[in-house]
Amino acid sequence: MKLMRYGEPGRERPALVDAQGQVRDLSGVIPDITAQTLTPEGLGRLRQVDPSTLPLVASPGRIAPPWSGLGKFVCVGLNYSDHAAEAGMPVPKEPILFLKPNDCVVGANDTVVLPQGSLKGDWEVELGVVIGRTARYVSESDALQFVAGYCVVNDVSEREYQLERGGQWDKGKGCDTFGPVGPWLVTADEVGDPQALDLWLDLNGEPRQRGSTRTMVFGVAPLVSYISRFMTLRPGDLISTGTPPGVGMGAKPPRFLRDGDELRLGITGLGEQHQRVRAWDAALLRD
């Protein structure tokens, strides 16, 4: 299944995308797509619904994050060896973990607003892994059983904040609008092998990132297992698994985000995102 939500903030409605690519409203079946919806029981109930019986949404308008109540937003750094090389950093021996605050989460096509004084805004197309069952010290062999589905994530970053101002990476990762998610949550059964997906990102129509999850340093199953040793993963939590090469700080010369830039990005079978970048303006932020 391809699950999604549409509508303005505070008025989002649940939906699914049928086999013909049409949006079907789910609000007569469930009030919202929540963490509980993503459990095996919740997804099992939705699989019993015939999409053709659901109302057709001809013009969904704003595409919201695919589920409400996103829990932890766990990110993995330098998880592609060629990206580590362009960043001038060693390939990690263990996954590098950091957290993005939930306030950064926006819809797939919402505006990305650069923070005040931003000089080095950057882009990162990433595979998002959505947890569907409580995971604590799970084995690699069992890890994929805890995954509800997958989605596209843009791990937007401010490199000066992240790398040049001391402390942890979080300060360059957690600005408002720095976590576009969606457009869909595609259930694991429909995705199949998460290590066989192509990722891409274009800036103003120019190809920037081209990669494949085949080249991850740590694959999805090892990551779920590893992270579950350090924190309990619960339904609705999101793991963003790292980015392939082609980010702005790795360009020669570096190319960072500017007001008016347009980003398009996507992953095989998981849909596409489209964001317009704007300079700081508090009026552009959605509460």
Q: What's the whole-number average pLDDT of the chain?
A: 96
Query: In the CATH scheme, what architecture does the domain 65-284 have?
Result: Alpha-Beta Complex (3.90)
Structure tokens that stand for 53 in this block: 């019986």
Query: Closest by alpha carbon to 83, among 247, 195, 222, 220?
Result: 247
Taking the C-alpha atoms of residue 112 and residue 114, their distance in angstroms, rounded to an integer, is 6
Structure tokens that stand for 59 in this block: 């013009």
* 3-state secondary structure (DSSP) of residue 175: coil
Contacts of 96 (CB under 8 A, 6+ apart): 76, 77, 78, 79
Question: What's the confidence (pLDDT) of residue 39?
Answer: 98
Assess whether pLDDT exceeds 70 at residue 287: no
pLDDT cut 90: percent of the chain above it:
90
Q: CB neighbours (10 Å) of residue 254?
A: 12
- Can you count the helices (H) and strands (E) in the chain? 5, 20
Question: How confident is residue 87, by pLDDT bands cut at 50, 70 and 90?
Answer: confident
Residue where the block lists tokens 């919202």: 32
Sign, CA torsion 195/99/188/107: negative
For the question of whether the overall pTM of this predicted structure is more than 0.75, the answer is yes
Assess whether pLDDT exceeds 80 at residue 286: no
The 10s digit of each residue's pLDDT in 243-254 is 999 999 999 999
Taking the C-alpha atoms of residue 183 and residue 200, their distance in angstroms, rounded to an integer, is 15
Question: How confident is residue 189, by pLDDT bands cut at 50, 70 and 90?
Answer: very high
The 10s digit of each residue's pLDDT in 14-42 is 999 999 999 999 999 999 999 999 999 99
